[in-house]
Structure 1
Amino acid sequence: MVIAQTALFNFQSLLLVILLIICTSTYAHSHFPGIMDRNRSGVFGIFWKCARIGERLSPYVSICCIVMAVRTL
């Protein structure tokens, strides 16, 4: 019996998923700001908050992306 691990049980995968959500949300907000700004609360508010993190902490997020790419390779 094979038990598959999800990103919740593997810390490196969880960090990778969080970084991908931040980067994707920031990219989507730069191209479609109206859609992201309308959904500041609720479930889709998470993506707006991730876009804010990506915009304000972009040097740190990019360093984390480079570190995760090197660790993955």
Structure 2
Amino acid sequence: MSALFNFQSALLVLLLLICTSAYFHQLFPGFMDRNKDGAVTGLFWKCARVGERLSPYISVCCVIMAVSLFIGN
């Protein structure tokens, strides 16, 4: 089933995008800040901002998602 039709998979993809963007922003801040305008690069920059500012909540969501995937299988 596609992630578009499964809410749990879509949420997992969103969480992974936020976490990955925040990690790459930490590694390459100049590159991410320079490319914050635009469709694709702007999306990564915005996800990095969300990951940096809401990191405790994002990490709790990741743990809850991991536990729900572990229990669900």
| TM-score normalised by length of structure 1 | 0.92
Quote the Cα distance in structure 2 between the aligned partners of 1:15 and 1:55. Answer: 18
Which ranges of 4 or more aligned residues in structure 1 deviate by more than 6 Å?
A: none
Which of 15, 32, 53 does residue 11 from structure 2 map onto? Answer: 15
Rounded Cα–Cα distance in structure 2 between residues aligned with 1:44 and 1:29: 11
Match of 1:48 among 39, 45, 48: 45
Aligned to 2:21: 25
- Structure 1, unpaired ranges of 5+: none
Q: Please tell me whether Structure 1 or Structure 2 has the larger radius of gyration of its CA atoms.
A: 1
Name whichever structure is richer in helix by fraction: 2
Number of aligned residue pairs: give it: 69
* Structure 2 unaligned regions, length at least 5: none
**Aligned-residue offset at 1:6:** 1.1
How is 1:53-72 mapped onto 2 (pairs within 5 angstroms)?
A: 53-72=50-69
Q: CA RMSD in A?
A: 0.6
Task: Report sequence identity in percent.
Answer: 68
